[in-house]
């Protein structure tokens, strides 16, 4: 019975990849743990990239209190107070980025990106067809500075899962590059094939194995939850803007409690509400007496 069910899901997963013509991309995912997918394949248009960029820049201005442009970065001097970063702490670097959170509440274009059919197919390929859910939707806003320091902030997104890790990616990530990724612009860093080591990165050796993933604006970098990755520091003027849509297996706790807290009416306003709601994981069972109980005979 169980075997029939999983065989059915594997078949669905295979057909999903085949229908979208993604065979060569999943080959790279399997072998390298990451893949770069161009906008011609994901169908994300320049207009969508512009709308996403404008939405993020407006939110930066609202939260930080000064204007932001891709060309020039923040218009004013920024003060993080006592905050020392997250991945920056690995090598004690001074933060030169922040993250915007809960992007799918911003506007419809962010929700449409989260359910992009190519991105979702790749995430379902890694995590499991029926089990894939949203974990969180964030943006990395990065400018010139120390970045993550000497360690490049190398980590695995699945790092919270106790070892030993198996083959299945219990979380996986879609980094949408809204600006060009080059080494000097602060590109994504990773160790190709490191997802097959089923371990946390070993520092500092991992840094010498890392490579920059360079790709043009609009590209998607999809990657396995066990891939050793981080980023190079940005050395150029202006901003590196990224959307990180993070997915999880249904057995893993979401970073953002979308199942309980995401506004349901917003889920109806997107290109595929049924898919959005499924990935959001609304309506988890066991929140009430869902299974019947027998009745005592009179
Ligand atoms: O590009 C970066 O700064 C790091 C991205 C990252 O670690 C992630 O999206 O999980
Ligand atoms: Fe990460």
Instruction: Give the three-state DSSP class for 154.
Output: coil
Domains, in order of start, for the chain: 22-256 (2.60.120.620)
Q: Is the CB of 190 inside a 6 Å radius of any atom of ligand 1?
A: no
Q: With the C-alpha atoms ordered 106, 218, 273, 29, is the resulting torsion angle positive or negative?
A: negative
Cα separations in angstroms, 58 against 61, 96, 291: 5, 19, 47
- 84-130 pLDDT tens trace: 999 999 999 999 999 999 999 999 999 999 999 999 999 999 999 99
Q: How far is the CA of 287 from the centre of ligand 2 (A)?
A: 31
- 193-249 pLDDT tens trace: 999 999 999 999 999 999 999 999 999 999 999 999 999 999 999 999 999 999 999
Mean pLDDT of the chain: 96
Please tell me the distance from the alpha carbon of residue 270 to that of residue 163, in angstroms, as a whole number.
38
Please state the separation of Cα 238 from the chain's center in Å: 23
Using CA atoms of 90, 91, 94, 98 in order, give the dihedral in degrees to the nearest 10: -30
CB of 277 closer than 8 Å to CB of 267 = yes
Strand partners, 190: 211, 229
Instruction: State the pLDDT at residue 285.
Output: 80
CB of 221 closer than 8 Å to CB of 184 = no
Look at ligand 1, atom 4, and give the residue with the nearest C-alpha: 230
Instruction: State the pLDDT at residue 60.
Output: 98
Q: Is the pLDDT of residue 257 over 60?
A: yes
Calculate what percentage of the chain has a pLDDT beyond 90: 95
The backbone torsions φ and ψ at residue 17, rounded to the nearest 5 degrees and listed phi first, read -65, -45
Burial class (CB in 10 A: 0-12, 13-18, 19+), 171: buried
Please tell me the distance from the alpha carbon of residue 122 to that of residue 30, in angstroms, as a whole number.
11
Instruction: State the pLDDT at residue 25.
Output: 98
Please tell me the distance from the alpha carbon of residue 202 to that of residue 193, in angstroms, as a whole number.
14
Q: How far is the CA of 175 from the centre of ligand 1 (A)?
A: 7
Measured from the Cα of 97, ligand 1's closest atom is: 3
Instruction: State the pLDDT at residue 286.
Output: 85
Please tell me the distance from the alpha carbon of residue 126 to that of residue 82, in angstroms, as a whole number.
38
Look at ligand 1, atom 3, and give the residue with the nearest C-alpha: 231
Instruction: State the pLDDT at residue 1.
Output: 55
Instruction: State the pLDDT at residue 288.
Output: 87
């Amino acid at each position: 019975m169980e075997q029939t069910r999983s065989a059915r899901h594997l078949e669905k997963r295979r057909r999903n990849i085949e229908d979208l013509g993604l065979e060569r991309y999943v080959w790279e995912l399997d072998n390298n743990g990451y893949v770069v997918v161009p906008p011609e394949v994901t169908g994300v248009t320049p207009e969508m990239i512009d709308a996403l960029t404008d939405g993020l820049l407006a939110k930066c201005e609202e939260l930080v209190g000064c204007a932001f442009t891709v060309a020039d970065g923040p218009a004013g001097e920024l003060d993080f107070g006592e905050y020392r970063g997250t991945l920056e702490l690995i090598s004690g670097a001074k933060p030169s980025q922040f993250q915007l959170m809960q992007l799918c509440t911003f506007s419809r274009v962010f929700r449409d990106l989260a359910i992009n059919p190519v991105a979702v197919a790749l995430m379902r390929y890694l995590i499991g067809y029926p089990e894939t859910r949203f974990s969180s939707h964030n943006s990395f806003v990065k400018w010139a500075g120390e970045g993550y320091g000497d360690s490049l902030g190398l980590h695995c997104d699945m790092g919270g899962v106790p070892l030993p890790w198996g083959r299945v990616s219990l979380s996986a990530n879609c980094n949408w590059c809204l600006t060009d990724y080059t080494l000097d612009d602060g590109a994504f860093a990773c160790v190709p094939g490191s997802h097959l080591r089923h371990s946390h990165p070993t520092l500092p050796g991992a840094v010498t194995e890392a490579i920059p993933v360079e790709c043009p604006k609009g590209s998607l970098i999809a990657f396995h939850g066990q891939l050793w990755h981080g980023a190079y520091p940005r050395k150029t003027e202006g901003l590196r803007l990224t959307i990180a849509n993070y997915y999880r297996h249904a057995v893993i706790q979401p970073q953002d409690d979308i199942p309980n807290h995401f506004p349901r009416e917003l889920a109806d306003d997107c290109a595929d509400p049924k898919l959005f709601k499924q990935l959001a994981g609304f309506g988890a069972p066991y929140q009430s007496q869902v299974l019947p109980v027998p009745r005592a005979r009179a």
